[in-house]
Chain A
């Protein structure tokens, strides 16, 4: 067992969503755990799971991989907030020093129709991939590229494109939105390419196809709550949504005039 009485130890009561399978009824289970302030939130869940396994119970399934905030795997709603209390921080980068001994913490999966729960805290986010497949790329075959310096790009545009491209595809924006809208996610990719000369030739086709797919997956629309931006661990700006709306309108007009 890992638990010893150490400096910085804290007693935490967890309420964790347990659900056996897609569509199965779920419920919150309570677990007591001794954590340490230096632990990450996921390391605290590791301790819970170790306790469960050693006592013959099924561990809590949750998605995680890089544990450094870049792969986008972790998807925990902590006390009602996507990724928990700390701004611009994924659940895997949240540390227990944010909490006090005696705290109760409620952990549940993303809640959105387009992200059905598969088991416990794991949900199906394949809808995001399908939105990207609809048009989130520049159509250039390998080996057909001109020299990288052939097209200069304004530094400001490159920086803005980078900031949009920093999206990790975790889905917190959807989980935080009262409409379960995927507009921040979709607009981040649309913006990246709208800002770069490389993306221009396909801009109309791209935005129309990606928005269509987004709608087909059952995500809601944006009604300006800004919750997505607040929840986004990478600080993706809602200005991207405005840019996507302009791109979309522009594409509709251009398409019609064609």
Chain B
């Protein structure tokens, strides 16, 4: 089903401003239309999702004077999955004086993304990174500090400078609570109307413009219609298509997928990130995987035994019989190579039969050297809560025995296509944070997700939303409009259909099977044959789902099984799009590793001639193949080279 050479699409206008790279954002902001403060209260803006992107956007737009309606599926906006981010947030502050700059952060991020991101967006991200730290400190976010009272930094994968700000191993939590506080201030001021326990079930498009949403109340089962002048999706990534991932259990693709079916293009769905340092799975009942922050690689040394099948306990394996394979293969970055490189290397040593632990699917992350060099107290101060978490889950004490780690799905770089204004192909629909595709290319560097979520919400959307609100004539639309009726009817009929099948298999059993399929056919390593095979299997599974799933209980009460059924139904469609994108992208880049395309020593081999573009997929109706559109990627500042971390 590969689509042969589609033309560069005229439907994708990235709206990237011209001129020197470092002046583009400033100039763009000046060129954008403005909504004058008195007029802002005339505009209603819907924000779906209250993680770092949604929370920061909702708060800032409300401060500016817009009427904001914010929605989350949790019982409180504070529980969004951003809360689980551990390690830190990058910013080009150069507080360490180690030669960091906006340009270097920009360069590292483009390179780290394996040259598949949009340069202008990444440069803007690096520029506003410094403002994010200022903002968060002003909110009272308790970042780690040094004795002099100034902020501390650490280094992260893919960088040779220390530019990562952190709050112990709970940076995401602290940043999210900062945004949550900012939202609360606006909720109290009645500038944000907060709707908790609501799930978006459809996007409402009127005259080609996004004008509202339909939600289902997850406690009462009621369907509700909400009209607005603009809709922001800040609904995170699709990692849970793999069932086992580090994502929270409720993270899903539903909002993005239903927007896709209303006309928003989906870009690069095959770009998924496999995080190298997660706790390995222990059995079939496993419901999720737990990440151990990448910051651990600052002090932890990754190794496996040199000999296959060495069953001795780690401490009994002498130094010269250990293979510190990252330090050996990548002497200049060592244990701090980017995530995709670290993950693939872990897989390959395990495939060689040198993996450790009961399943053989794990490598050691060893702190013995750090403890003897800096003392246990210093290591505890840096990673105490992570060590505790590890001990709780595995029953092993990492101060005494090395951690066992294995890669797991963690983040998704693909997402809804957006232009420089973060606007999707549906006018009035903006997409922020992990839900969009633009900044991380084919691989995201550590500590960049928090940066992007907050950049989009605090600094980008507040400026660019005016391009839509002041730039277009927006007729009054009420929730009685036929488009709302049709969207609500569609959502209701989908739920009714799910409830009426009354088959024999639980929703979770389908989700698990889909996850296994995705991991096997579209995981760390992909092949054309495997992807084709995977597509057939996903289609068969989808058919079985719609004839044999069993959803018990009522629809007018809390029914988590019904919620899951809707999300799994969407994942079953989405998976095919992801596999197909991986098939069409006949090269290796970043997290997308096609086994057919590798260098002699097993590194990803890009094909810049053919694939230096974004693939954005347009929905063509049920059962139809999506249409591919291509946005060429121009590299004006960063020269396309083969990434090397040696």
Contacts and interface: CB of A to CB of B under 8 A. Distances in A.
Interface stretch (B7-15, B145-153, B443-451): B145-153
Interface string A205-228: 000000000000000000000000
A96 to B, nearest CB: 10
Given A54-B504, A129-B76, A133-B184, A161 B151 contact: no
A65 B561 CA distance: 14
Given A129-B184, A162-B167, A166-B170, A148 B139 contact: no
Which residue of A128, A147, A151 has the most chain B CB atoms within 10 A of its CB atom?
Answer: A147
Contacts of B612: none
Interface string A223-248: 00000000000000000000000000
A50 B180 contact: no
Interface string B113-154: 000000000000000000101111111101111111111000
Given A66-B81, A67-B287, A53 B76 contact: no
Interface string B328-340: 0000000000000
A66 B84 contact: yes
Interface string A192-211: 11001011000000000000
B145 A61 contact: no
Which residue of A38, A53, A71, A129 has the most chain B CB atoms within 10 A of its CB atom?
Answer: A71
A59 B552 contact: yes
B140 A199 contact: yes
Contacts of B458: 142-143
B348 interface: no
Contact of B138 (A53, A59, A145): A145
Interface in A167-181: 168-169
Contact of B561 (A40, A59, A166): A59
Interface in B68-88: 74-79, 81, 83-84
Interface string A47-72: 10010111011110101111111111
A47 B285 contact: yes
Contacts of A161: 140, 142
A193 B140 contact: yes
A142 B74 contact: no
Which residue of A118, A162, A168 has the most chain B CB atoms within 10 A of its CB atom?
Answer: A162
Contact of B59 (A21, A53, A142): A142
B392 interface: yes
Interface residues of B, number: 84
A124 interface: yes
A2 B140 contact: no
Given A54-B506, A65-B250, A158 B170 contact: no
Interface string B554-595: 000111110000000000000000000000000000000000
A61 B560 contact: yes
B432 to A, nearest CB: 14
B399 interface: no
A227 B286 CA distance: 32
A interface, over-half SS: loop
A66 B79 CA distance: 9
Contacts of A67: 248-249, 287-288, 290
A101 interface: no
A256 interface: no
Contacts of B185: 133, 137, 139
Contact of A2 (B84, B219, B285, B290): B285
A133 B188 contact: yes
A196 B140 contact: yes
B149 A148 contact: no
Contacts of B393: 40, 93, 95
A162 B508 CA distance: 38
A65 B76 CA distance: 12
B76 A128 contact: yes
A145 B393 CA distance: 40
B174 interface: yes
Contact of B287 (A46, A149, A199): A46
Interface in B600-637: none
Interface in B143-186: 143-151, 167-168, 170, 173-174, 177, 180-182, 184-185
B411 to A, nearest CB: 15
Nearest to A89: B392
A236 to B, nearest CB: 13
A95 B285 CA distance: 13
B54 to A, nearest CB: 14
Contact of B75 (A20, A120, A125, A147): A125
Nearest to A2: B285
A253 to B, nearest CB: 24
Contacts of B133: 148
Interface string A73-92: 10000000000001011000
B458 to A, nearest CB: 5
Contacts of A122: 558
B550 interface: yes
Nearest to B75: A125
A89 B391 CA distance: 11
Contacts of A198: 137-140
21 contacts: A43-B287, A54-B550, A56-B552, A65-B249, A68-B290, A71-B74, A89-B392, A122-B558, A125-B76, A128-B76, A129-B184, A138-B181, A142-B56, A145-B137, A146-B134, A148-B151, A152-B148, A153-B145, A159-B142, A169-B79, A198-B140
Given A144-B138, A162-B144, 20 more contacts: A6-B283, A40-B393, A47-B285, A54-B550, A68-B84, A97-B395, A125-B75, A126-B76, A129-B196, A132-B184, A136-B181, A142-B59, A142-B462, A143-B135, A148-B138, A151-B137, A153-B149, A155-B147, A168-B83, A168-B173
Which 5 interchain pairs have the tightest Cβ spacing?
A152-B149, A137-B181, A145-B138, A162-B142, A145-B134
